A and B are shown apart, each in its own frame.
Chain A
Amino acid sequence: MGLAEALSSGRFVVTGELTPPKGVDTGEMVVKAKDLAAIVDAVNVTDNPSARMQMSSLGGSAALVGAGVEPVFQLTCRDRNRIALQSELLTAWSLGIKNVLCLTGDHVMFGDHPQAASVFDLDAVQLLEAARGLNEGIDMNGNELKGSPALFAGAAAAPEAEPWEAQRIKFEKKIHAGATWFQTQAIFDFEKLDRFMTVAARHNVKVIAGLILLKSARMVEFLNAYVPGIHVPQQIVERLAGSDKPMEVGMEIAVEQVSRFKDTCDGVHMMVMGAEARVPEILERAGVKRD
């Protein structure tokens, strides 16, 4: 069952995430993807995350297809103009990639090539519109395609970002531009999640809530300082710092989060960065039943 079918079936969906190698050896990524595939519905393949140069998300996604794993092809506007973006979407479909997550992209200053030009010829809303056009058989200028894709286009949402009203308007623009499903930034504040879900409920969209497995207070300090859009509250930092087994505290927090998401959202996006083996335990302790 693909991601689209899983979401429309109404069951609680689980997605994971992998980053392609900085290099040409996809072996490790494919092994991890196969392990993950046993427990998740789809695996996101990141697009030069934090603007660090890696193998492309298209290449990584194709490798997953080759291994029989359902990818979510992440595509950011940072590095490509509208010609390249549309071209990659067509290529993706021809390689058997169905799911695309249309993203703005982290600024180049966060990465390992801060001297690079930022492109942003399109933004995420305009990229979604472009993907919808391709699905309808036309490019952004109305030229007809020879064979059109049927991409399952989703987008990101930032339920905790303030001012929320500005973010809410953007979220709804993404819906109007054709996004039918969302993966959110990592969520720690359940009241803000509820605020977001109230808006989402007015639309026919699916929401997969983001989760980052916290492993130590030091990791959290790094996330808060260097990863855009992530804000781990002080109270959680203290819970981690006060324990001699921070990883187990992180597991507890993840279980609390998934338990909450299970009742309010359509799925969870697990960003566990190397701790893939712990995912089944989190799901089980949160009471998520997987076939």
Chain B
Amino acid sequence: MIITKPKAKEAVLSMLEGYDKIFVLGCNSCAETIGTGGPEQVAEMSEFLAGSGKTVTGTAVIDPICHVLGAKRALREQGEAVSEADAVVVMSCGAGVQTVSEALEQAAFPALDSVFLGNVIRHGIYDERCSLCGECVLDVTGGVCPVTRCAKGLLNGPCGGMSEGKCEVDPDQDCAWALIYERLAKSGRTEKMAATMKPKDHSLHRKPVKISNR
């Protein structure tokens, strides 16, 4: 799940300076699931914009906006509601905003900040567990990712700041390497931890990454 956080409504309003007719677009995937860009938030945003003197030409919550072809089709289906708008406020992750800016002439503005790839622990509680690093090491780290869950992303064990199994950065946060050790010890596989892990090969996932299977 891509975890997003709403920007302050005033910040969205200041992006829209000089734009009067606004279309508000939500995403029915991650943003709807975590309650940042579903029907309810889209309605709330359009009410706020209307109350701030803007004309809302229409709203929609569409299939994952990151699906470029599908999103383009869904935007076309909106007809004049979209074509008459000067700007689109997009309540999705940054990938969705960029689908819209590619699909339309009009300006696309982000109403959310995209924060991380998260696990939904329970509704409203999200944890970052994967950094999309391109070289998964979970096979040797007991299924706990040090790239993400160690504040320093260390690959070869805990730093000296580990204290009673907690992280130097936040005493309420488990040290990833303490968790890894614990998991490996339970299954008698701590020798996995003794093997030195090589530095990451960042040449394998240079930004912007593209994959083409066609």
The chain A residues found within 8 Å of chain B, CB to CB, are: 77-78, 82, 104-107, 109, 118, 120-126, 129, 140, 156-158, 161-163, 165-167, 169-170, 172-173, 176-177, 185, 228-229, 231
- Say if the beta carbon of B152 comes within 8 Å of chain A: yes
Give the 7 A-B residue pairs with the shortest CB-CB distance, closest first: A170-B157, A228-B161, A158-B160, A228-B168, A166-B181, A125-B156, A229-B160
> In whole angstroms, how far apart are the Cα atoms of A182 and B200 in the complex?
26
Convert B148-170 into 0s and 1s, putting 1 for each residue whose CB lies closer than 8 angstroms to a CB of A.
Answer: 00011111111111111100110
- Could you say which of A106, A129, A166, A185 contacts B157, with CB atoms under 8 Å apart? A166
B172 to A: closest C-beta gap in Å: 14
Known: A157-B160, A161-B162. A120 touches B154 (CB 8 A): yes
On whether the beta carbons of A229 and B161 are closer than 8 Å, the reply is: yes
Which A residues are in CB contact (< 8 Å) with B161? 106-107, 228-229
Residues of chain A with a CB closer than 8 A to B200's CB: 121
6 contacts between A and B (CB under 8 A): A124-B156, A124-B159, A129-B196, A163-B182, A166-B157, A166-B181
- Contact B160 A126, beta carbon cutoff 8 Å: no
- Tell me if B109 counts as interface (CB < 8 A to partner A): no
Q: Mark each residue of chain B from 174 to 204: 1 if its CB lies under 8 Å from any CB of chain A, else 0.
A: 0101101110010000100110101110100
Question: With A163-B165, A165-B181 known to touch, is A172 a contact of B194 (CB < 8 Å)?
Answer: yes
Given contacts A82-B199, A173-B194, contact A163 B178 (CB under 8 A): yes
Q: A167 to chain B: which residues have CB within 8 Å?
A: 157-158, 160, 162
Q: Which of B157, B159, B175, B181 has the most CB of A within 10 A?
A: B159
Instruction: Report yes or no: B155 in contact with A123, Cβ–Cβ below 8 A.
Output: yes
Q: How far, in Å, is A142 (CB) from chain B's closest CB?
A: 13
A156 near B160: Cβ-Cβ < 8 Å:
yes
* Chain A residue contacts of B175, Cβ below 8 A: 166
CB B10 to nearest CB in A, in angstroms, measures: 22
Point out the residue from B190, B198, B202 that lies within 8 Å of A126, measured CB to CB.
B198
Pairwise interchain contact B196-A176, C-beta atoms closer than 8 A? yes
Most chain B beta-carbon contacts within 10 A, residue among A77, A78, A120, A156: A120
Known: A123-B156, A166-B177, A170-B156. 17 other contacts (CB 8 A): A106-B161, A106-B168, A107-B151, A120-B152, A120-B154, A121-B199, A126-B199, A162-B163, A166-B158, A166-B180, A167-B158, A169-B193, A170-B158, A170-B177, A173-B156, A173-B194, A229-B168
Chain A facing B: main interface SS: loop
Q: How far is the CA of A125 from the CA of B159 in the complex (A)?
A: 11
Closest CB of chain A to B213's CB: distance in Å? 30
Question: Is the beta-carbon distance between A169 and B163 smaller than 8 angstroms?
Answer: no
Instruction: Select A229's contact among B152, B154, B163, beta carbons within 8 Å.
Output: B163
A123 to B147, CA, bound (A): 11
Q: Which residues of A contact B168 (CB under 8 A)?
A: 106-107, 228-229
Residue of A nearest to B177 (CB): A166
Find out whether the CB atom of A158 lies under 8 angstroms from the CB atom of B162: yes
When distances are taken between beta carbons in the complex, the residues of chain B under 8 Å from A169 are 157, 181, 190, 193-194
Please name the residue on chain A nearest to B153 by beta carbon. A120
Please judge, given known A-B contacts A104-B152, A120-B153, whether A166 and B193 are in contact too, CB under 8 Å: yes
A161 x B163 contact (CB < 8 A): yes
Chain B contacts for A157, CB-based, 8 A: 160
Contacts A104-B152, A166-B181, A176-B196: A125 and B157 contacting too (C-beta < 8 A)? yes
Shortest CB–CB separation between residue A159 and chain B, in angstroms?
10
A96 to B186, CA, bound (A): 48
Say whether A165 contacts B194, CB under 8 Å.
no
Residues of A with C-beta under 8 A to B153: 118, 120
Chain A residues in 8 Å Cβ range of B180:
166
In the complex, are the beta carbons of B156 and A126 less than 8 A apart?
A: yes
Residues in B with CB closer than 8 Å to A231 are: 163
